[in-house]
Amino acid sequence: KNQVEQSPQSLIILEGKNCTLQCNYTVSPFSNLRWYKQDTGRGPVSLTIMTFSENTKSNGRYTATLDADTKQSSLHITASQLSDSASYICVVTISGNTGKLIFGQGTTLQVKP
């Protein structure tokens, strides 16, 4: 069964600290993996996209990694800010003509001052 599991479910950190969110997937055939940020009351917004051959990709203070062998991805947030408080969603694309997106349930991050 194609699944995307994220951990932890929720996380609270202090402003300025770093954190890492995890995403494990059992999706085949794999096309790419995308991390979305969803602010409260808003729709998801894409942060990064990674294909099979990419190990690391950065977007400002956000760094995503992908290990296609173990089917794991992580999103590392450096020097967190209050504005980082949001849900982070891992989405895996199934390749092919009948491709579809498999969404993780998200990790809710709260950054406290």
Residues that bind other proteins in the complex, under the rule CB under 8 A: 4, 9, 31-32, 34, 41-46, 49, 89, 93, 99-106
Check: CB of residue 73 under 8 Å from CB of residue 90: yes
State which residue, 19 or 89, has the beta carbon closest to other proteins.
89
Nearest distance in Å: CB 33, other proteins: 10
DSSP state letter for 1? -
Name the helix (H) or strand (E) containing 89. strand 86-94
State in angstroms the smallest separation of the CB of 92 from other proteins.
Answer: 10
Give the residue from 58, 57, 54 showing the smallest Cα distance to 67. Answer: 54
DSSP at 82: G
Cβ distance to other proteins smaller for residue 2 or 20? 2
80 vs 90, beta carbon nearer other proteins = 90
